[in-house]
């Protein structure tokens, strides 16, 4: 959505293009249609002309994206489709499912190495289970099976137990073990005591989108909203880690790393949007179709309950901050700075608080199921 910018905003685009998280979509990839019939449109908008349609299972090449829409070619047509109805070929969600189910077979036992400086061994797959021991960085273990982001392991000394799968990697230099059993948690027991990473988008030399009517800077709105979100989450008993608390610009990789190091339970990246179309409202993005999508549904459900702007629903988003994340992660876009009315609303603390409260409630719902 950052890359489809009206000519009037071209200067902004040139200034920020190299640093935008949303610029992470350059590489084309293959996806299949996950709807009985999917309209292909001339532009990335619901009211754009229909230029063709695709059937369930059709394979297409995705070359670009803009505010939840994906530019595709294949099946004899080209144009834009709603991203929600495409399923990326070989996405981590399917991999995780495959590993989890095959992981129960004894032949799936494999060697792995500890990547954290210290890693607790527990009696079961979750932080509520008793601690039985600990491992050090570079210790080697045998992985017996994987479940919900946790790995049952046997130590070199023959002791067995469970460790969080995100802190071990498979032998042979592959990170596929960790990636495959990502999306850890322990989704039960409520939000109290859970660690949530709140990521205010942009910052420092990267202002993000600039409002077209009031010169609002996205980086300021994301920080203000994130600070409110921190307060609402803390009031619910959650531990909160911010990826920035002032006008800094951590790299995208660093933001992801903060969540991993904190051993956090969920990650929320806060953004505000822009579009050449006269569009309005919020959008909630996910990458993996297991925990990211469940978390996105919980949050979108609350955002859709009247915070002052309508919700445009959920969308697949191929963003670094989601794709490279080992935690259940979502990216929320809380309104369009290119829309005069949206911009006047999102500038106000009252809106930012309502949005933050909705996100906090959504997280709480997610951990209460």
Residues that bind Zn ion (CB under 5 A): 201, 208, 271
Q: Minimal distance in Å, beta carbon 203 to Zn ion?
A: 10
Strands 150-155, 118-122: pairing kind: unpaired
Closest residue to Zn ion in the complex (CB): 271
Decide whether 124 or 250 has the Cβ nearer to Zn ion. Answer: 250
Q: In whole angstroms, what is the distance from residue 105 CA to residue 97 CA?
A: 14
Residue among 120 and 271 whose Cβ is closer to Zn ion: 271
- In the bound state with Zn ion, the residue whose beta carbon lies nearer, of 41 and 255, is 255
Question: Minimum distance from CB of 108 to Zn ion (Å)?
Answer: 40
With CA atoms as reference, report the closest residue to 286 among 278, 277, 294, 274.
294
Q: Judge whether 250 and 203 are in contact, CB under 8 Å.
A: yes
Shortest reach from residue 338's CB to Zn ion, in Å: 12
As measured in angstroms, the least distance from the Cβ of 316 to Zn ion is: 17
Ranges of beta strands (E only) in the chain are: 29-33, 37-41, 50-55, 59-66, 69-74, 77-82, 86-88, 110-114, 118-122, 131-136, 140-147, 150-155, 160-164, 168-170, 195-200, 239-242, 266-273, 282-286, 311-316, 329-336
* Rounded distance between C-alpha atoms, residue 224 and residue 354, angstroms: 12
191 vs 210 by CB, closer to Zn ion: 210
CB of 122 or CB of 271, closer to Zn ion: 271
Query: What is the closest distance, in whole angstroms, from the C-beta atom of residue 341 to Zn ion in the complex?
Result: 19
């Amino acid at each position: 959505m950052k890359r489809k910018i009206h000519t009037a905003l071209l200067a902004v685009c040139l200034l920020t293009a190299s640093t935008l998280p949303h610029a992470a979509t350059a590489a084309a990839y293959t996806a299949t249609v996950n709807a009985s019939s999917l309209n292909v449109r001339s532009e990335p908008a619901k009211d754009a002309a229909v230029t063709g349609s695709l059937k369930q299972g059709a394979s297409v090449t995705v070359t670009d994206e803009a505010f939840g829409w994906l530019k595709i070619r294949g099946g004899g047509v080209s144009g834009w489709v709603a991203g929600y109805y495409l399923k990326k070929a070989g996405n981590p969600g399917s991999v995780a499912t495959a590993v989890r189910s095959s992981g129960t077979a004894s032949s799936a036992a494999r060697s792995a190495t500890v990547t954290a400086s210290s890693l607790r061994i527990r009696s079961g797959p979750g932080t509520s289970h008793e601690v039985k021991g600990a491992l050090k960085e570079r210790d080697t273990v045998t992985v017996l099976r994987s479940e919900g982001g946790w790995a049952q392991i046997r130590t070199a000394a023959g002791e067995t137990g469970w460790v969080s799968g995100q802190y071990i990697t498979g032998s042979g230099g592959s990170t596929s073990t960790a990636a495959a059993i990502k999306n850890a948690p322990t989704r039960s027991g409520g939000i109290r005591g859970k660690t949530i990473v709140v990521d205010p988008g942009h910052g420092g030399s990267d202002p993000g989108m600039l409002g077209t009517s009031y010169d609002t800077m996205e980086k300021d709105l994301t920080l203000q909203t994130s600070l409110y979100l921190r307060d609402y989450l803390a009031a619910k008993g959650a531990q909160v880690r911010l990826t920035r608390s002032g006008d800094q610009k951590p790299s995208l990789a660093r933001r992801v790393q903060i969540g991993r190091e904190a051993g956090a339970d969920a990650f929320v990246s806060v953004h505000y949007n822009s579009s050449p179309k006269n569009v309005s409202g919020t959008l909630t993005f996910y990458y993996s179709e297991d925990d990211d999508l469940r978390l996105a549904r919980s949050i979108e459900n609350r955002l859709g309950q009247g915070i002052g702007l309508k919700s445009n629903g959920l969308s697949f988003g191929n963003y670094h901050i989601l794709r490279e994340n080992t935690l259940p992660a979502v990216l929320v876009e809380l309104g369009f700075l290119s829309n005069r009315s949206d911009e006047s609303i999102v500038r106000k603390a009252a809106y930012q608080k309502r949005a933050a409260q909705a996100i906090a409630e959504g997280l709480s719902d997610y951990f209460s199921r």
